[in-house]
Structure 1
Amino acid sequence: CPQRDERLGWTGDIQVFAPTASFLFDTAGFLQSWLADLAAEQAEADGVVPFVVPNVLPGTPIPAAAWGDAAAVVPWVLYQRFGDTGILETQFDSMRAWVDLLAKIASERHLWDRGFQFGDWLDPSAPPDKPADARTSPQIVATAYFARSAELVAEAAAVLGRVDDATHYHALAAKVRDAFAREYVTSAGRLLSDAATAYALAIGFGLLRDGDQRRNAGRRLAALVRDSRYRISTGFVGTPLICDALCSVGEYDTAFRLLLERENPSWLYPVTMGATTIWERWDSMLPDGSINPGEMTSFNHYALGAVADWIHRMIGGLTPAAPGYRAIEIHPVPGGGITQATTRHQTPYGLAECTWAIEAEEFRVTVVVPPNTMARVFLPGSDAAPVEVGSGTHQWSCPYQKPQTARSPLSLDSTLGEIIGDPEVWTTVLSTIARHMPVLSEQMNAGTGISGNTGLTLRQAVSMRANSDTLRAELETALTQLKH
């Protein structure tokens, strides 16, 4: 935030952005140096990771979830992306010290439910002067990260051959996961904070007990995204996780619609306002061109751009299948009307590349695999097993048809949730209403009266207004004319 004279190394920001940063740049040396500073600050604070490193803030450091968890998450990301076990060896004591601190401050039930938290910082629903006032309970965020960091320490210990440590921290992570499920998840997979970030954490961090819970949680997450009209409803914690969480439960179309939404708040709203950088708030510039008067208004703040890692892997198709890209999974997933993409990355072994395009119902892909590595290539729309190839340049083509979802007949008695879920139908409904009741159309597009009420039928929503007979008739005709 150079305009605030705040050139500080915020731990929470790099914790969520490290995967994206490590794809875009060779961050190994820079972040290892920064992690050494983190460990030094942490050692002086009895295991607490400060909010910023180097720590120039006044007062005694206190722990906060997602920010302090940089101690465990960033070394693991660097190991995954660069394949250097020395990173884990150097940082292991710091990683372990952070999780040991959490084990001490957590309750006897293994819940991190006390003390200060940033929570899901800058949830779009939070008032401008209360950026921590999020829809997801900060205790859910904290306990989820406790489980995640304990698991990462266990995985790091296993890589380093520290068998006893691996056993201990795997057991601790299991206890925290069980505590999370008992306290915050119903038997049907609903989260006590019925908010997108809560579900993204539970799905992404593996905190649900069985497949039924996971499926139900996935359906609820997708419903919440639709309920928000595919606009961002997550803060610093949930935003980097939500697209992966949706895709992991088969909600690919929902993830792509979320990515490509242009209304505020969304990733593309700032682009429509001329942005060339990531903003700290989705609406740092308001639709009328004025500057958001609230706190935390910056036009140069990278954290919310962490979705780029998902774009590189899901659309671009390049995912490390072994540390340092020793093995690569090439699995591009077309969606959202995107018909071509090229993704390149300088791995420790050399250039990896995936270029694909869809033309005339044919999918063509060219893959470059670095020397001394191998790749598994998945072709979209094909049930064939992945192809395993070694280094070199490879090409494939296969028939491809865009997946078609049959549209159920819609009427005035369809719910708003059903209508919002189909872009063509939603546009048709809003434009029809605008001809008769422009204010109502604007309110519905803005979500007024809709959020939380998507079970309302279109008939009920319109009939709340006087003199709506002609509008109802036109809506019925417009819905009937849509192709099924």
Structure 2
Amino acid sequence: MPDQFSTIRPAPVRYEHATSGFGLGTGTPRLSWQVPAAPEGYAQAIYELELTDADTGATSVDRVESPEQVLVPWPFPALGSRARGSVRVRVAGAGEDWSGWSEPAPVETTLLDPLDWTARFVSPRTLGGIEQPAPIVRGGVELTGAVAGEIVRARLHVTALGLHVTTINGVRVTDEELAPGWTSYGSRLRFRTHDVTGLLREGANSVEVLLGNGWYRGRLGWGGRRAHYGDRLAALAQLEVTLTDGTVRTFGTDETWTAVASGVLADDLYDGQITDLRFVPDAHGEPVDVLDEDLGRLVPPAGPPVRSVAEVPAVSLSRSPSGRLLADFGENVVGWVRLRVRGGAEGRRVVVRHAEVLEHGELGVRPLRSAKATDEYVLAGETAELTPSLTFHGFRYAELEGVSEEQVESATAVVLSSDLRPTGTFACSAPDVETLHANVVRSMRGNFLDVPTDCPQRDERLGWTGDIQVFAPTAAFLADCAGFLTSWLADLAADQQPDGSVPFVVPDVLRRPEGPAAAAWGDAATVVPSVLYERFADAEVLATQFDSMKAWTDRIAGLAGKDGLWAGGFQFGDWLDPAAPPEDPAAARTDPDLLATAHLVRSAELTARAAEVLGRSAEERHYADLAATARDAFAREFVSPSGRLHNDAPTAYALALIWDLLPTPEQRAHAGRTLADLVRKAGFRVATGFVGTPLITDALTLAGEPELAYRLLLERGCPSWLYPVTMGATTIWERWDSMLPDGSINPGQMTSFNHYALGAVADWLHRVVAGLAPAAPGYRRLLVRPMPGGGLTSAAARHDTPYGPAAVAWERADGRLRLSVEVPVGVRADVHVPGRAELVEVGHGHHRWDVPDPVEPPRVVRTVRDAIDDAGLWDELVATAVTAGLASDGAEIAARVGPHLDAPATELPALVPPRLRPAPDEVRERLAAVVARRGVR
């Protein structure tokens, strides 16, 4: 084994949750590494870390006896600001069979202390008012006598109050967009460090910062309110140039800088940007004011910036029925349009309007509400490339005014998103389900734009806590979002009210005077940190957020009182239940008090588990007792002795089953049967909103009805997950029926075509359909338990865990089921092979099984319930009845036969009454023939 393993090298170490060690904001970064391959039976027992100082070449080595390789503590003295070096790792098993060293991973810290800043925020004195053009602040950097070869390195640390686009000598210093992003600016303002060595030259250098309104001063929320954080835009930039003799020359924003107007005449995230390409900035400019801003709120980033992550060319240019020129990009995206035009005379205006859908062939702008989502350009000459930089839009279609088809050289959608590393994939034999999954990925990409937003297009685009609470497990599989969500959680804690209430949106721009406490929304404070621990093994996020978790749980426990029943007060409830009318999305079937009390149980349990991980035993006992009290209250108030809930709503049963709120096995069994019957009676149409949707398929699976979960997944009628797919959707909709079957837009005021919340079902696709789930934090142990069904002949999932790639794939053919499992080094897996009772435990490597296909034998069809469960029989009955005009669809039939589930199946023909007239005898006979042909007894 020593000879074998000496040829193996760990992959380079990673710092915290970053993809690069450049610009780290901590002097004690946690370290992680992967071992791509190792001999069978290998298990890490020891690791060595080597730190090399980039300036002196001195090395330090630290040896640790530990099997851990994810987020291990920094073993060296803390690094200071601007420290540079590299780290290598090597690992060994119990016999000290050392691997080779990993490649060095460079590390460089940024400014770690407010005292490191000599620059100050500067703001235009009279330019750049809210109704004025976007200002530019600029300063000169004189490097006379320093030839290019004498500059060893140069670093620019920069941020802004507002958005900034920063250039040196006319070249952008970074490819990030919409910097510095959106945080709770009063408490936390991000800055980034950039390597600008190659942009400097001998002599005079110009640094310019274009400032935009962005989230800081632009419109946010409803009602047109602006300047939530302040009414003055400002820049902070500090350039540090290191020369060959070791001296460091520092330049920063100060009173010597000047300000000029730019050609950006107006900019707003909701409304768009107006740009005059003819504009030439003043050569002189006006003085700036130095602002007395608290530099202690400056924080380095925990996640990646927003970047252009894809480009999507227009698939067509066409004319609408009214004659307007429309560009179709083929998919719903978030970003802006880059338009190349020719033949435009100076002074000509080109207008680009955006929308997600067409309605009656025209741009469907009503869902945008007051957001104009329009970019406008004044041309300077014959040929131009038109693109904004201080706004973004959600769109599939763009209406182009001021140009003809012949003048458009190209139209490209530039897709913006936080640049998260993709980590998860899913595939299966059902093309529509694959499309559904692709739509989930696209919606996440569009709404993970610096904060996890609800939607990217209308006058909202806010970090709704309820949406990310239900979607966090899906997000953690699809992308390396740990740093992104850790940053957002810091804003949640910063904006949390003194009484523990969690705002409905984070960062909080709604700022309700009363303490908001809405179940499922505020629970983001406990759920999201728990998901990050489960999926990324990050215990530090639990430690950092623990006070926030406790404060929220204490707040809702106080609302519940000593008996543990949280009742009364405002609740969003099972938001956007498909039964709710368009004008009242909170009018759900689920009792809001039941939902609230269930969430109290869950948050108390998650807080207790966090306390256990952190070794805080007294608090663990306290919150476990609180959860038990609330669980007892739930059972006492909402559960009958048989297990029937007083509220016959699918979401109510899903909550009770998944969160173990039913005291006895008999009650759980009865609740599972009741939930299954509710799904049957709905004709397999979805009957859950934001809260129930992530749970319903898991609840059916837990109840022993995975085939019903598949039937729910594969339904195409509205409401269902696949209905939008049949309507051509390329993202997840806010409402199950955001677009009606006739192609018109839902009349509700909240109708978005890019909302990820209802796409949370993808987590079930990963864990249950494909069968890949974590069994220990960070996937240190895998649970492989695929549940083939629904007529699928194959499914596969792959996830880049903190330890390396893990994958599960199964395929059914020729009476055999073939299962393959990939386990990364450092991980063990518990494998449930379909059709086999015994559990198989395996270590790292590739494993395969080829077993008889455990297809469930057809159920004996005796009752109406059995007939509904027989997908082939049910589909044939529905098709016959619909063709004969007896019903509009399967849901209508299911609603009619629902009260008769225990009736003999032979009575089905009589239970499908005519819609308008008695059914002709021959139709009854056809229905009876279908029943007889399927072997009904």
Of Structure 1 and Structure 2, which has the larger fraction of its residues in helix? 1
User: Is this contact kept in 2: 1:377–1:386, CA < 8 A?
Assistant: yes
Give the letter aligned to residue 453 of structure 1.
Answer: P
Unaligned runs of 5+ in 1: none
State the match for 1:441 in structure 2: 887
> Partner of 1:478 in structure 2?
930
What is the rounded CA distance, in whole Å, between the counterparts of 1:100 and 1:318 in structure 2?
A: 35
Q: Secondary structure at the match of 1:368?
A: strand
Write the deviation string for residues 117-161 of structure 1: whole angstroms up to 9, x where unpaired. Answer: 000000000001010001110001100000000011111111111
C-alpha deviations, 1:398-444, integer Å up to 9, x for none? Answer: 121311232325xxxx54x44433322223223333454x1x22166
Distance 1:98 1:404, change over 3 A: same
For 1:423, give the aligned amino acid. A
Which residue number corresponds to residue 219 of structure 1? 673
Q: Structure 2 residue aligned with 1:56, among 501, 509, 530? A: 509
Partner of 1:399: 852
More off after superposition, 344-353 vs 54-63: 54-63
**Partner SS for 2:693:** coil
Aligned ranges for residues 96-175 of structure 1 at < 5 Å?
Answer: 96-175=550-629
Give 1:375 shift. 0.9
Query: Kindly tell me: are residues 358 and 428 of structure 1, through their superposed partners in 2, closer, same or farther at Cα, counting changes over 3 Å?
Result: closer
TM score, norm. by length of structure 1? 0.94
Matches of residues 367-382 of structure 1 in structure 2 within 5 Å?
367-382=821-836
CA distance in 2, matches of 1:463, 1:278: 36
* Residue type of the alignment partner of 1:406: R
Of 819, 822, 840, which aligns to 1:387?
840
Q: Secondary structure at the match of 1:180?
A: helix
Matches within 5 A, 1:276-287: 276-287=730-741
Matches of 2:663 and 2:891, distance apart in 1: 37
- SS of match in other structure, 1:173: helix
CA displacement 1:182-226 (0-9 Å, x = unmatched)? 000000001111110000000011100010000000000000001
For residues 154 and 395 of structure 1, the distance between their equivalents in structure 2, rounded to whole angstroms, comes to 39
The answer for the alignment partner of 1:462 in structure 2 is 913
Within a 5 Å distance, the mapping from 1:161-200 to structure 2 comes to: 161-200=615-654
- Indicate conservation of the 8 Å contact 1:227/1:454, yes or no: no
Corresponding residue for 2:768?
314
Shift in alpha-carbon separation, 1:369–1:274, aligned structure 2, 3 A: same
> Which deviates further from its counterpart, 396-405 or 12-21?
396-405
Rg (Cα) greater in structure: 2
Distance 1:407 1:41, change over 3 A: same
Distance apart, 1:342 and its partner CA: 2.0
Query: What SS does the corresponding residue of 1:287 show, helix, strand or coil?
Result: coil
Aligned residues: 475
Partner of 2:405: none
Cα RMSD, aligned residues only? 1.8
Distance of 1:386 and 1:289 partners within structure 2? 50
CA distance in 2, matches of 1:448, 1:328: 39
1:206-254 C-alpha deviation (Å, 9 max, x unpaired): 1000100000000000000011111100011100001111111211111
Amino acid at match of 2:731: T
Q: What is the rounded CA distance, in whole Å, between the counterparts of 2:752 and 2:776 in structure 1?
A: 37
Flag the 1:123–1:400 CA change in 2: closer, same or farther, 3 A. same
Q: 2:696 matched to 1:250?
A: no
Cross-structure match for 2:718: 264
Letter in 2 for 1:441: A
Question: By how many angstroms is 1:463 displaced?
Answer: 7.3
The answer to whether the 8 Å contact 1:444/1:450 transfers is: no
Q: Which moved more, 1:360-369 or 1:255-264?
A: 360-369
The verdict on how the C-alpha distance between 1:133 and 1:422 changes in structure 2, with shifts beyond 3 A counting, is: same
Q: Which amino acid aligns with 2:921?
A: D
2:797 maps to 343
Query: Which residue number in structure 1 is paired with residue 268 of structure 2?
Result: none
Return closer, same or farther for 1:435/1:329 CA change in 2, 3 Å cut-off. Answer: closer
Q: Is the 8 Å Cα contact of residues 330 and 377 (structure 1) preserved in structure 2? A: yes
How far apart, CA to CA, are the structure 2 residues paired with 1:211 and 1:434? 40
CA, structure 1 residues 141+232, in 2 after alignment: closer, same or farther (shift >3 Å)? same
Residues 179 and 477 (structure 1), Cα distance of their counterparts in 2 relative to 1, 3 Å cut: same
SS in 2 for 1:135: coil
Q: Give 1:432's aligned residue.
A: 880
Distance between the aligned counterparts of 2:460 and 2:653, measured in 1? Answer: 32
Q: Which amino acid aligns with 2:888?
A: E
Alpha-carbon shift at residue 7 of structure 1 (Å) = 1.4
Match of 2:491 in 1: 37
Cα distance change, pair 418–393 in 1 and its aligned pair in 2 (3 A): closer
Residues 9-50 of structure 1 deviation map (CA, whole Å, 9 limit, x = unaligned): 0000000000000000011101111001001111x4421000
Provide closer, same or farther for how the CA distance between residues 4 and 45 of structure 1 changes in structure 2, counting only shifts above 3 A. Answer: farther
Opposite residue 28 of structure 1, the aligned amino acid is A
Instruction: Give the alignment partner of residue 12 of structure 1, picking from 455, 466, 471.
Output: 466
- C-alpha deviation, 1:353, in angstroms: 1.0
Give, in whole Å, the separation in 1 of the partners of 2:659 and 2:918. Answer: 49
Question: Does structure 2 conserve the Cα–Cα contact (< 8 Å) formed by 1:328 and 1:374?
Answer: yes
More strand by share: 2
Alignment CA distance shift 1:320-1:447 (3 Å): same
Gaps of 5+ in 2: 1-454
Aligned partner of 2:480 in structure 1 is: 26
- The partner residue of 2:871 within 408, 423, 447 is 423
CA deviation string 1:36-76 (max 9, x = no partner): 1001111x442100000000114224110000000001100
Q: Percent identity?
A: 56
